[in-house]
Amino acid sequence: MTTSRPPNQLELTLPVPGRGEASCQDAQEVEVVRSSAESESPACTEHLMEAICDPDNIEAALASVVCNKGAPGVDGITVKQLPDVLKARWPEIEEQLLQGHYQPQPVRRVQIPKPAGGVRNLGIPTTIDRLIQQAVLQQLQPLWDPTFSEHSYGFRPGRSAHQAVAQAQAYIIEGYQFVVDIDLAKFFDRVCHDRLMAAVAARISDRRVLRLIRSFLTAGVLNNGLFEESREGTPQGGPLSPLLSNLVLDELDRELERRGHRFVRYADDCNIYVRSEKAGRRVMKSLTRFIEGRLKLQINVEKSAVARPWDRSFLGFTVRNEPAFRRCIAAKAVARFKNRVRELTKRHRGVSLERMIKELTSFLKGWAGYFGFSQLDELSSLDGWIRRRLRCVAWVQWKTRRRRFSELRRLGISAKAAFEAIFSPKGPWRLSLSGALHRSFTNAHFESLGLPAMGNLLKA
């Protein structure tokens, strides 16, 4: 233990290490990580709870939960309050954990809209329960992750969605040009607790940890003040859920490996690549029997299909139907992007152009950082579309002809061109292509306002 620390760090008893959750590397190429199907010996986990409660582990878990922020659970304790609450309550919580009597609180139900319609149910644990789950994750992940399939890419250290997309593209280039696209219906809501706990018990011998994990699964949900029992599923929103989901679907991975399939799985998105449509339909039929009969999960028939890869999308990407099969951004991802930009650049939002650009740039950085993995130059055309929308915003915000004339003149437009623009019968969208507005709002001017091209964001 250390006895001193800088005053701006979290104060328990130890220095705060880095985040404990699985990192997502932005690799541009497929990195093959070999893994073994053999699970670790349960005998080495007899005293796992002591390792979970170790001060170093708890300190790392606290740092991770605080860095990840997030909303409070049913008890209302925020991540900012968590360090002080933990200092006061940790001896009691630690005793309950070591005795195997700790009982998590129900998760708070939150619904967020899905991009394709409908809602996704999230379960937000309390910050204390999130910390305990993170502490468990930090001990289990190093033991379990090396045993998972090399074809699994989701929620794993050193693995990313980009690697999964690149591996899928490699299969297509090799000649496997039909995809069996399997979508699991409400996967996180339908995980069988008994099957999951059987898989956990095969890897863990510490009964206290087994009881703790089951208690997280069965803690229940508080939905608009009403308590609901949790008889199946693993709630999305807790640090431990992704690891448990990989454990559940590891059985699917091993079955696909046993059959010799070429496949890529990222969380509950699984694509199998075959050489013919006939083979694809045969695989879809047999896997449906396995998933629904053995794993007790449900396949979403409407979203699953056997098709050409360029007619489907995987993690927001697809491939072009050409000899090189270059990867590109899927049409649905572009549509979602444009819908979000439209929300941020509404002409009558009542915010200044500078503030609008600041909010927009924050969104673009994340979007370009992910979809810049495309091998086509879609970002440039989207940049032009964004700038055109912002020209519309500026034109509408200027409102009067007098204001529009003075602003155009201030931006270096001749009096004749300014008069032509302000007396034009065209609407804002058509006017955004006019020479006056183009010369007023050049790429360099937008950059001076804080809006760089998305391609430049990738170079930064």
236 strand-pairing partners: 238
CA 153 to chain centre: 13
Amino acid 116: pLDDT: 65
Q: Report how far apart, in Å, the C-alpha atoms of 300 and of each of 207, 214, 288 are.
A: 36, 27, 10
Please choose, from the candidates 296, 302, 22, the residue with its C-alpha nearest in 3D space to the C-alpha of residue 154. Answer: 22
**What DSSP assignment string belongs to 244-292?**
HHHHHHHHHHHHHHHTT-EEEEETTEEEEEES-HHHHHHHHHHHHHIII
Q: How do strand 269-274 and strand 305-307 relate by DSSP bridges? A: unpaired
- Phi, psi (deg, nearest 5) at residue 223: -120, 105
CA 68 to chain centre: 13
Question: How far is the C-alpha of 310 from the C-alpha of 179, rounded, in Å?
Answer: 9
Amino acid 189: pLDDT: 83
Per-position pLDDT tens, the chain of length 460: 334 444 334 445 443 333 333 333 333 333 434 444 444 555 467 789 999 999 999 999 999 999 999 899 999 999 999 999 999 999 999 999 999 999 999 999 887 777 666 677 788 999 999 999 999 999 999 999 999 999 999 999 999 999 999 999 999 999 999 999 999 988 888 888 999 999 999 999 999 999 999 999 999 888 888 888 888 888 788 899 999 999 999 999 999 999 999 999 999 999 999 999 999 999 999 999 999 999 989 999 999 999 999 999 999 999 999 999 999 999 999 999 999 999 999 988 889 999 999 999 999 999 999 999 999 999 999 999 999 999 999 999 999 999 999 999 999 999 999 999 999 999 999 999 999 999 999 999 999 999 999 988 877 5
CA 402 to chain centre: 48
Kindly report the pTM of this predicted structure.
Answer: 0.85
Instruction: Please give the structure tokens belonging to residue 201.
Output: 């018990």
Please choose, from the candidates 45, 50, 40, 135, the residue with its C-alpha nearest in 3D space to the C-alpha of residue 86. Answer: 135
Question: Residues 184, 185, 190, 192: is their CA dihedral positive or negative?
Answer: negative
Cβ(199)–Cβ(254) below 8 Å: no
Please choose, from the candidates 116, 126, 63, 64, the residue with its C-alpha nearest in 3D space to the C-alpha of residue 93. Answer: 126
108 strand-pairing partners: 124, 222
Task: Report long-range pairs for 186-189 (Cβ below 8 Å, ≥24 apart).
Answer: 186/298, 187/245, 187/268, 187/297, 188/233, 188/234, 188/235, 188/236, 188/241, 188/245, 188/268, 189/121, 189/232, 189/233
